A = this chain, B = another copy of it.
């Protein structure tokens, strides 16, 4: 008897009617002979509503208490789904994080799952119960309730699948993973499967379908994760380890863009590794997430360094820069779009960069910065070139 761990997002359980629909879907899977663990997010906008409530108390809610507050959203939806399933004549039981020992560590609001005590769940499954587990939450060593960050219920589901040796199905409001965001490129193709690493790159590049840590966890334990619509015949996407030697695999699987960053260039820095490393250490201390970094070759013992940071961190970053450099050394470019192509096939296929640059040149697309990893190429381009670039690249690489 297969153990299936399903996760339903907030929009799937947004109303009592939708909760009853999920109950029916779950019961049908049980009728088909499976053991079910269902992880649910908070109903609809509950988490946002709770945050708004906290902000009516104070602009700066205590992080421990905010986690305690937010965790109630998932407890509510769990209890309601368990009621709905019991109402259909099937035995269900809701569990909070402390009841199934979801141990976490790290900061409030973005804790990591260390372990889950699977005993109670195994016992309940043996007794024929359908388990409804609260996503997004855990308990740290102090016994405090912690949350895993936005989308953390995905990670709860994968972690439970790992512990119970089950398969994982993430039901969301998109019908699968696309090579390109369909809102940006209408001919975007849905992928039947995607490799963990590709999905990770796409997630970090702004494809907000899945919580990144859930993919890392699935990759670590090699658990396939299905992503798609619930109650639908439309086939979704399986995230798994894809055989890169497959001759038919395409070099590029997906494409992502983000307008959330700015580029900062510091000119005429003395080419001293201490200066540059001190700078990036100071930036890191302020938890500013530096993404693309490029450095020009030294001329007359001086170099230029460019890097991108989230828009919101600009002010804080400038304060740091001014403590190291003169104002006229610092240049800010707000007009950038990060444009990335991702594909595990790039490992074994050469010429992808060359092909891309040829297309850029032919179409007069200026590249401001470029960084690459083994399976990703990211360029900073002008924002006005974004839609054109998406079309050209998606078409040529058959995305």
Cα(A330)–Cα(B373), bound, Å: 89
Q: Is A277 an interface residue (CB 8 A)?
A: no
Query: Pick the contact of A68 from B61, B64, B79, B144 — CB < 8 Å?
Result: B79
Q: Is the CB of B54 within 8 A of A66?
A: no
Q: How far is the CA of A144 from the CA of B120 in the complex (A)?
A: 12
- The reply to whether A65 and B94 contact each other, CB–CB distance below 8 Å, is yes
Q: Which of B65, B75, B84, B144 lies in contact with A83, CB distance below 8 A?
A: B65
Q: Which residues of B contact A145 (CB under 8 A)?
A: 96
A142 to chain B, nearest CB (A): 9
Tell me whether B82 and A65 are in contact (CB under 8 A).
yes
A208 interfacial contact with B, CB 8 Å = no
Assess whether A58 is interfacial by the CB under 8 Å rule: yes
- The main secondary structure of chain A at its interface with chain B is helix
Q: Quick one: which of A58, A69, A79 has the most chain B CB within 10 A?
A: A79
Whole-angstrom CA separation of A84 from B54 in the bound complex: 9
* 29 chain-A/chain-B pairs, Cβ below 8 angstroms: A16-B53, A20-B57, A50-B76, A54-B79, A54-B80, A54-B83, A57-B80, A57-B83, A57-B87, A58-B84, A60-B87, A61-B83, A62-B82, A62-B83, A62-B86, A64-B93, A65-B79, A65-B82, A66-B83, A68-B78, A69-B75, A69-B79, A69-B80, A71-B75, A72-B72, A72-B75, A72-B76, A72-B79, A98-B98
**Interface pairs A-B: 10 shortest CB-CB:** A16-B56, A69-B79, A58-B87, A72-B72, A68-B79, A65-B79, A62-B86, A65-B82, A65-B83, A61-B83
Q: A53-B76, A68-B78, A68-B82 provided; 14 other pairs, C-beta below 8 A?
A: A16-B57, A20-B57, A57-B83, A57-B84, A58-B84, A60-B87, A62-B87, A65-B79, A68-B94, A69-B75, A72-B76, A72-B79, A98-B98, A120-B143
